[in-house]
C-alpha cells in the first residue's frame, strides 16, 4: 500500500471542491490540519493551487469517497498502486553528506588496514570516494596522512554493515586460503591408513607365565637360605 500522498494540498483543494467529505476526513487523508482545510474551503488558503484529482492518480477510489461521504467517522485509505516500480540500483559511488565527508579518509585508512583484499573500486562504492584519494592514502602521500586515524566506516555512518560484508565476501571468492586461516584440520586418509600402530598393553593385562613365577620364587628362596647360613 502506498504510504505517501502525492501533492497533498492540491488533493485537498480537489476534495473540498468536488466531494462532501468533512474537513476532518480531508485533513487526515491529506496530512493537513483541519483548520487549514477550512481555510481552503473559505478561500483564505491555497489560492492559485489547482486541484489534483486523486481518482486520476489512482490514489483514491470512488467507492472510498462514497464510504466517507456516508460515514463521517470513516477514514479514507490510499489505494494500492496498480503498477509496481522496481527499485533502481545505485550506480557510481555512494553519495556522502557534506557533514561526513571529512571522515572519509579515516574510513579509507581503516578499510585499507583491516581489509587489504578490497579493491579500490569496492572502497569507492562503499564510502563514495575517488580512486586517487584511496591511492594517496595507501601510499601515505595524502596531504593529511600524519593526522589520519583508522575508523570503522559503519560506525561513522558512511556505509552499512551489510554492504561491507557483501564487498568483503566478493573479494574473498577465489582467494587462496592463507596459512592459519583454516584452523586445525584432520590428516588425510592417505597419511594415516598405513601407519603401524601397536596397541599399548599394560603389564597387569598380560597373561601370567607360570615358569617365570616359580623361577623367581626359587631365586628368592635360595637367597634367603644363604642369608640364614651366614
Task: State pLDDT tens for residues 24-50.
Answer: 999 999 989 999 999 999 888 877 788
More confident residue, 216 or 22: 22
Burial of 4 from C-beta contacts in 10 A (0-12 / 13-18 / 19+): exposed
State how far the alpha carbon of 87 is from the alpha carbons of 78, 110, 156, 166, in Å.
Answer: 21, 31, 26, 19
**What pLDDT score does 129 carry?**
85
* pTM for this prediction: 0.38
Predicted pLDDT at 17: 92
Q: What are residue 191's phi and psi, to 5 degrees?
A: -90, -10
76-115 per-position pLDDT tens digit:
998 876 655 555 555 555 555 555 567 889 999 999 999 9
Please report how many Cα atoms fall inside a 13 Å half-sphere around the Cα of residue 52, on the Cβ side: 16
Residue 22's pLDDT is 93
- Residue 225 scores a pLDDT above 70: no
Please answer whether residues 70 and 21 qualify as being in contact, where contact means their C-beta atoms are separated by less than 8 angstroms: no
pLDDT digits (tens, 9 = 90+) for 44-83: 887 778 889 999 888 899 999 999 999 999 999 988 766 5
3-state secondary structure (DSSP) of residue 76: coil
Rounded to an integer, what distance in angstroms lies between the CA atom of residue 183 and that of residue 186? 10
Residue appearing with cell numbers 487523508: 29
- The mean pLDDT value of the chain amounts to 77
Amino acid at each position: 500500500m502506498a504510504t505517501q500522498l502525492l501533492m497533498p494540498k492540491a488533493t485537498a483543494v480537489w476534495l473540498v471542491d468536488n466531494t462532501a467529505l468533512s474537513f476532518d476526513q480531508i485533513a487526515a487523508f491529506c496530512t493537513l490540519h483541519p483548520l487549514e482545510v477550512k481555510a481552503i474551503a473559505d478561500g483564505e488558503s491555497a489560492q492559485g493551487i489547482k486541484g489534483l484529482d486523486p481518482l486520476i492518480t489512482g490514489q483514491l477510489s470512488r467507492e472510498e469517497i462514497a464510504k466517507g461521504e456516508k460515514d463521517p467517522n470513516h477514514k479514507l485509505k490510499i489505494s494500492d498502486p496498480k503498477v509496481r516500480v522496481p527499485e533502481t540500483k545505485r550506480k557510481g559511488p555512494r553519495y556522502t553528506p557534506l557533514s561526513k565527508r571529512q571522515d572519509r579518509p579515516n574510513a579509507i585508512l581503516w578499510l585499507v588496514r583491516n581489509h587489504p583484499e578490497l579493491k579500490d573500486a569496492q572502497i569507492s562504492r562503499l564510502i563514495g570516494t575517488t580512486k586517487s584519494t584511496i591511492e594517496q592514502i595507501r601510499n601515505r602521500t595524502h596531504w593529511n596522512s600524519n593526522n589520519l586515524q583508522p575508523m570503522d566506516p559503519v560506525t561513522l555512518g558512511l556505509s552499512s554493515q551489510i554492504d561491507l560484508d557483501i564487498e568483503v565476501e566478493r573479494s574473498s571468492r577465489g582467494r587462496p586460503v592463507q596459512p592459519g586461516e583454516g584452523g586445525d584440520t584432520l590428516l588425510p586418509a592417505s597419511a594415516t591408513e598405513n601407519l603401524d600402530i601397536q596397541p599399548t598393553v599394560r603389564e597387569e593385562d598380560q597373561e601370567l607365565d607360570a615358569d617365570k613365577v616359580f623361577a623367581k620364587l626359587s631365586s628368592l628362596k635360595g637367597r634367603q637360605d644363604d642369608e640364614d647360613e651366614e
